[in-house]
Structure 1
């Protein structure tokens, strides 16, 4: 299994959600999510992957002023959607890698 297969994944999956932010603070366009040290066949490993994906989504989406309610709502939506897309793509990759296949299509 590729150790850093998610390196560019979040950049692709975050684009629609990230675009919804009206004035995002500078944020990275991609975040590497390392799989090293994670046993994805265990519940603990799945929780660790989810935690890493949530941190990466937060990095991708940036931040908004606490005084900006609209910005906070957009930020929350960006993080939720980015995590959902990345999680689905990660699980599809994990399932495919056990069968010796990998496919990633841009949305």
Structure 2
């Protein structure tokens, strides 16, 4: 049985991404005045992508933990994803893939 949930706002989506970013990145942030998330984001029909502030990073051996981005569906589902923010073509393609995924799964 599928539940139709109300769409969330951009601000709510960013808050969802921030909570996960805090859990993953807080240990690597040396300055509490540096935001964990970048101001940059991308939006598609069914989701937003939020990115780590590039000033927050960890050791290379823990890169899989700290180098991710966050996809939040318009219904509030979060997925931790690869960060293609510096590879425009991959980013655009992946944004569409995730948007289609959230739509198909009704998330």
Quickly name the TM-score band, shorter chain normalised: 0.3 to 0.5
**Which structure is higher in helix share?**
1
The structure whose RCO (Cα within 8 Å, separation 6+) is larger is 1
**Which structure is higher in strand share?**
2
TM-score of the superposition, structure 2-length normalised?
0.39
